[in-house]
Chain A
Amino acid sequence: MSDQEDDIILSELDNEELVQQMFDDLYDGLKEEIEEGVNILLERGWQPYQVLTEALVGGMTIVGKDFRDGILFVPEVLLAANAMKGGMAILKPLLAETGAPRVGTMVIGTVKGDIHDIGKNLVSMMMEGAGFEVVDLGINNPVEKYLEALETEAPDILGMSALLTTTMPYMKVVIDTMIEQGKRDDYVVLVGGAPLNEEFGKAIGADAYCRDAAVAVETAKDFMARKHNKLAAG
């Protein structure tokens, strides 16, 4: 159907078609089209939270799956995240006004001694794409910096990244300090980075190792759902 595609007029689509088209447009990283789609849905009386979850998060979930499965790669994911960001910029003030439920908050940073950040940035973007609030501490973070952010940001999740075999053991230093201070169980700890693996995540006491940004998002959502169930049951 590639011939007629330039003729799509978003405002002429019904809600269901529009959301499907927005999934396609997120997949293609078309920022302006996403912004237009968000505005149309809002004009039609959709709640900001509904636009976020059904149109944007729904679309980014597909991007995440195809990234996980080696169909999309970093350049496409960056474009999709950028388009998502355009939509989020419109929704963010409205979400705050309407007191919409929060998906969750994550503090993330590359560990001390490590200055690599492409992977971490990708996780940040994908997490934002899934509706999470992300506080990015940047690179080369000592344990004090993580603990301070846990205090001030009160996140649900702590994410740590390392690209070097020589810096990945530092993740254990952070987790051990959290245990010492009796704070470990207050947070979900996710770790990731090229040289890591599941075995390593278990060995240092993280809740999960995340192979890539898409897996990080799925894992984070999973832990948030468990947390909500626990609260509801408790």
Chain B
Amino acid sequence: MTNAFSKMLAARDWILADGATGTNLFNMGLESGDAPEMWNDQHPDRIELLYKQAVDAGSDLFLTNSFGGNAARLKLHGAEKRARELSRISAEIGREVADRYDRPVVVAGSVGPTGEIMAPMGALTHELAVEIFHEQAEGLKEGGADVLWLETISAPEEYKAAAEAFKLADMPWCGTMSFDTAGRTMMGLTSADMATMVDKLGNPPLAYGANCGVGASDLLRTVLGFVAQGSERPIIAKGNAGIPKYHDGHIHYDGTPDLMAEYAILARDAGATIIGGCCGTMPEHLSKMREALETRPRGERPTLDQITGALGAFSSAADGTGDDTPEPRRNRRRRA
């Protein structure tokens, strides 16, 4: 199966994805607590600008404004019935923007987590999760997305449900998880666990990786964890522009455009193919990342020390992939 994204993957050594959606939209006046997806309908001009800014700054691929556009998230705003429609519009605007450029630009239909905890721990069943993801996938497909882009997932069950849903929608996809808890996802998955899980999927993604999480350093440690598993599948690195800091009543991310340029180079040298930013990554960061990727030669795979030397310390000593994982304090009774 070929599509705009797989063609780009085949033709290119690296692909620059986009940066933050939320941070950019808040700068355009989005009120916290409001659903960004409502703007697809209410302020399509601002969404168009969001996409355009990323492409103008050098992105080869951008994510649609549909991260929270699934029925489970929209329900919090009383808009659960609009999941398909709002997702479709986000992709329509994206298609229109992408087709204006004379270089290939991929429209990636963003699919975020449901925000629910899956059974048996929580209430969301596998069947319902598949249905929720399928509905959004159909909307993004109708709107003209080239590829679906699952992101910020914590639970392996949710990743698997999305894979199944995307098969039902007959769409190619990519999927990243967020490693924000001692180098693992909130649900305890390590980078190695994810690489293993992805290879076993019935409908595997075209590329997989990590987004968001803690800082740029942690994200690259996760990328090295994927690489160590030896899969040929392309790896995605979408890290935050540093760490959020509170200053005079405002929050800003401490990662400068130059730091993100370093991050992009290290991500490429670590083995990532699709490189972008997440929270706090603005067009000026993307421009510097593009420039660095275009001008600086490929180097050796960085060591953990080189990563912390360039980007700052990790948030935790270990990430669960080595032998230094601490032992449980109690004996286990029945579970393996």
Choose among B76, B122, B250, B334 the residue that contacts A5 (Cβ–Cβ < 8 A): B334
Establish whether residues B332 and A28, one from each chain, have CB atoms under 8 Å apart when the complex forms. yes
Bitwise interface map of A from 178 to 203 toward B, beta carbon under 8 Å scored 1, else 0: 00000000000000001101011001
Interface size class of B (residues with CB under 8 A): 35 or more
Q: Which residue of A23, A72, A74, A168 has the most chain B CB atoms within 10 A of its CB atom? A: A74
User: Bound state CA distance, A164 and B68, in angstroms?
Assistant: 14
Q: Which residues of A contact B182 (CB under 8 A)?
A: 70
Task: Tell yes or no: B2 within 8 A of A by CB.
Answer: no
User: Bound state CA distance, A24 and B331, in angstroms?
Assistant: 6
Bitwise interface map of B from 294 to 336 toward A, beta carbon under 8 Å scored 1, else 0: 0000000000000000000000101010000111111111110
Establish whether residues B332 and A75, one from each chain, have CB atoms under 8 Å apart when the complex forms. no
User: Bound state CA distance, A33 and B334, in angstroms?
Assistant: 12
Task: Tell yes or no: A233 within 8 A of B by CB.
Answer: no
Interface residues of A in 1-57 (CB under 8 A from B): 1-2, 5-6, 8, 23-25, 27-28, 30, 33
Task: Tell yes or no: B184 within 8 A of A by CB.
Answer: yes
Task: Tell yes or no: A115 within 8 A of B by CB.
Answer: yes
- Taking the nearest CB of chain A, how far is it from the CB of B73, in angstroms? 8
Q: Which residue of B279, B316, B326, B330 has the most chain A CB atoms within 10 A of its CB atom? A: B330
Measured CB to CB, the nearest residue on chain A to B317 is: A70
Measured CB to CB, the nearest residue on chain A to B328 is: A71
Task: Tell yes or no: B49 within 8 A of A by CB.
Answer: no
Q: Which of B8-16, B26-34, B166-174 contacts A (4 or more CB under 8 A)?
A: B26-34
Task: Tell yes or no: B186 within 8 A of A by CB.
Answer: yes
Establish whether residues B31 and A113, one from each chain, have CB atoms under 8 Å apart when the complex forms. yes
Q: Assuming A28-B333, A70-B320, is B325 touching A200 (CB within 8 A)?
A: no
> Taking chain B's interface residues, is the majority helix, strand, or loop, or is none over half, making it mixed?
loop
Bitwise interface map of B from 110 to 137 toward A, beta carbon under 8 Å scored 1, else 0: 0000010100011000000000000000
User: Bound state CA distance, A206 and B181, in angstroms?
Assistant: 24
Establish whether residues A24 and B32, one from each chain, have CB atoms under 8 Å apart when the complex forms. no
Q: Assuming A74-B188, A164-B32, A195-B244, is B329 touching A115 (CB within 8 A)?
A: no
Interface residues of A in 163-184 (CB under 8 A from B): 164-169, 172
Q: What are 16 A-B residue pairs whose CB atoms fall within 8 Å in the complex?
A: A24-B330, A27-B328, A27-B329, A27-B330, A28-B332, A62-B329, A65-B329, A74-B121, A79-B121, A112-B33, A166-B26, A167-B33, A169-B246, A169-B249, A172-B249, A197-B243
Choose among A25, A71, A113 the residue that contacts B32 (Cβ–Cβ < 8 A): A113
Q: Assuming A28-B333, A66-B329, A71-B328, is B188 touching A166 (CB within 8 A)?
A: no
Task: Tell yes or no: B197 within 8 A of A by CB.
Answer: no
Task: Tell yes or no: B180 within 8 A of A by CB.
Answer: yes
User: Bound state CA distance, A69 and B324, in angstroms?
Assistant: 12
Task: Tell yes or no: B187 within 8 A of A by CB.
Answer: yes
Measured CB to CB, the nearest residue on chain B to A33 is: B333
Establish whether residues A73 and B122, one from each chain, have CB atoms under 8 Å apart when the complex forms. no
Establish whether residues B32 and A28, one from each chain, have CB atoms under 8 Å apart when the complex forms. no
- Taking the nearest CB of chain B, how far is it from the CB of A225, in angstroms? 23
Q: Assuming A8-B333, A27-B330, A169-B251, is B186 touching A73 (CB within 8 A)?
A: yes
User: Bound state CA distance, A78 and B123, in angstroms?
Assistant: 12
Task: Tell yes or no: A114 within 8 A of B by CB.
Answer: yes
Q: Which residues of B contact A1 (CB under 8 A)?
A: 331
Choose among B180, B245, B329 the residue that contacts A194 (Cβ–Cβ < 8 A): B180
Establish whether residues A25 and B333, one from each chain, have CB atoms under 8 Å apart when the complex forms. yes
User: Bound state CA distance, A164 and B67, in angstroms?
Assistant: 15
Task: Tell yes or no: A219 within 8 A of B by CB.
Answer: no
Q: Assuming A25-B333, A70-B181, is B32 touching A78 (CB within 8 A)?
A: no
User: Bound state CA distance, A122 and B328, in angstroms?
Assistant: 20
- Taking the nearest CB of chain B, how far is it from the CB of A119, in angstroms? 9
> With A140-B33, A165-B251 given, can you name 11 additional A-B contacts, CB distance below 8 Å?
A2-B332, A69-B326, A72-B188, A74-B187, A78-B117, A82-B121, A113-B32, A165-B279, A166-B251, A168-B246, A197-B243
User: Bound state CA distance, A30 and B320, in angstroms?
Assistant: 25
Task: Tell yes or no: A90 within 8 A of B by CB.
Answer: no
Task: Tell yes or no: A145 within 8 A of B by CB.
Answer: no
Measured CB to CB, the nearest residue on chain B to A59 is: B330
Establish whether residues B334 and A6, one from each chain, have CB atoms under 8 Å apart when the complex forms. yes
Q: Which residues of B contact A139 (CB under 8 A)?
A: 76
User: Bound state CA distance, A71 and B190, in angstroms?
Assistant: 12
Task: Tell yes or no: A221 within 8 A of B by CB.
Answer: no
Establish whether residues B246 and A116, one from each chain, have CB atoms under 8 Å apart when the complex forms. no
Establish whether residues A23 and B330, one from each chain, have CB atoms under 8 Å apart when the complex forms. yes
Measured CB to CB, the nearest residue on chain A to B157 is: A75
Task: Tell yes or no: A96 within 8 A of B by CB.
Answer: no
Q: Assuming A70-B316, A72-B328, is B333 touching A30 (CB within 8 A)?
A: yes
